[in-house]
Structure 1
Amino acid sequence: MTARGRGPTGARTQGVARVADSGTKTADEDLITATGHPTHVHDFHQLLYAPLGRITVTTPDGEHELASPLALWLPAGTPHSARFDPESLVLAEPFDPAAHRLPFARATAIRLDDAVRRQLLARTRGAGAEADDAAVFAALTCTRPRRDARLPLPRPTSEAARAVAGTLLRRPDDQRTATEWAESLYVSSTSLRRAFRTETGIAFSEWRTRVRLNHSLELLSRGHQVGAVAAKVGFTSTNGYIVAFRRHFGRTPGAWTKECAERSTG
């Protein structure tokens, strides 16, 4: 794991991190190991982003799994710990709460667009980049909350894989396996799986899971119950749906729905 950024994990440190179970003040770099860091809090707002690899951040609200393009806002005073996958690159941006009003009251995942991602990466290379930059804060707080952050879903290009993808986009509850799909299309299951992997960068099973989860967001936003949503999008159990949803979005479907309702009323 490589940690980069302004403040806690970079050269321009603002504020301090405190181990949550003690009053000892400790700089972030003393807490971070190759696999993560224990529970602590900051006296500054912090945005965490992993442009490479995946990190899991645990807060009182639950676990947040972050991989590009998802990032996580941690309001000042939020207890959190983190686990890093091997070879992850972690960027952290701190902001003074006295100077910047964060629009989120609790840990909130957001989707970063291409322009903001490039801006954050450029800051790791720019020796003259300012810490606690107001323009950067404005750009980061204008990004879309996870409510609108569908999972990336590249489309396959070969004929058989494209046919499978088209059907699943219309009918995510289709239960056919890759082998069954291959038999119906008169191709080998090996070539069909390879097509999904090479043309989308995602295994067939993961591609289908993303279709189902993306489809479920619309149903949840309409007020459908979690169990009904799980069945409608093709999960064989409600628990399996909840586990997959939390793994990809860092929240349970119920918590996601509650957050959406709070933002709407706010």
Structure 2
Amino acid sequence: MALWIPAGIAHSARFGADSVIAAEAFDAEGFELPYQDVTTINITDAQRRLVLGRMRSTVARDDDPEVFAALSAGHRNCLPLPQPTSHTAGAVARELARTPSDPRTATEWAENLYTSSTSLRRAFRAETGMAFSEWGTRLRLNHSLSLLEQGQLVSTVAARVGFVSTNGYILAFRRHFGQTPGAYVRSSLDRSA
């Protein structure tokens, strides 16, 4: 989870003892900011690694445009998607993040990784707080947001992220985001206009 705070907004915050705070500042004159208000956003695992890696570095860098592009590429509407920590569940999560349309079930993944499907499902439940199927649905829906914003047809997006039917994708999208993909695209266009 990240908090986008535009320049000039006075703020203060309290964090839990196990929180890691990393600030990335960008010149508001040099970049088109994605949000005009304080906005909570869900960051990807890759974005998290980028920020943590920059915290560890002692070398001065001049890569603000690349970092800004990487960190502002997320969507405020992304569903929370905790990452599993165990070796097996983590391997499945990483592969699905690379190829969200992969149709394999938990049983098929378990067979490929020489473990039981019960162990894999249990790991996802314990480490992410959700069932394997729910985690996969959220991943696919999160991936679909950028495709929709690129102007791709809903049916194309549904197929590209691994939904068996366009109707199933629309129903899942509405259940999680409270609107259809078409309504989401229209509201995104209204926000950018």
TM-score bin, normalised by smaller chain: 0.5 to 0.7
Q: 1:183 aligns with which of 104, 107, 111?
A: 111
SS in 1 for 2:183: helix
1:33-112 aligned within 5 A? none
Q: Cα deviations across residues 125-145 of structure 1 (Å, max 9, x unaligned)? A: xxxxxxxxxxxxxxxx64369
Q: Does 1:243 align with 2:139?
A: no
User: Match for 1:143: what amino acid?
Assistant: T
* 1:174 equivalent in structure 2: 102
- Write 1 or 2 for the structure with the bigger share of helix: 2
Q: Which ranges of structure 1 fall in alignment gaps of 5 or more residues?
A: 1-114, 119-140
Pairing 1:71-220 to 2, within 5 Å after superposition: 142-143=38-39, 148-220=76-148
Secondary structure at the counterpart of residue 148 of structure 1: coil
Contact 2:84 2:127 in 1 (8 A): yes
2 CA distance for matches of 1:198 and 1:182? 16
Paired AA for residue 215 in structure 1: H
Give a deviation string over 1:175-228, Cα, whole Å, max 9, x none.
000000000000000000000000111110000000000000010011001000
TM-score by length of 2: 0.63
How far apart in 2 are the matches of 1:188 and 1:143? 41
Distance in 1 of aligned mates of 2:38 and 2:101 = 34
The aligned amino acid for 1:186 is Y
Cα distance per residue 1:162-186 (max 9 Å; x no partner): 1100000000000000000000000
**Structure 2 unpaired stretches of 5+:** 1-12, 17-36, 43-74
**Rg comparison, structure with higher value:** 1
Calculate percent identity across the aligned residue pairs.
64
Is contact 2:107-2:117 (8 Å) kept? yes
Q: 1:231 maps to which residue?
A: 159
Given that 2:39 and 2:76 are in contact with CA atoms closer than 8 Å, whether structure 1 keeps it comes out as no
Determine which structure has the larger strand proportion and give its number.
1
**TM-score, normalized by length of structure 1?**
0.46
Q: CA RMSD in A?
A: 2.0
Q: How many residues align?
A: 128
Cα–Cα, structure 1 residues 237 and 144, in superposed 2: closer, same or farther, change >3 Å?
Answer: same
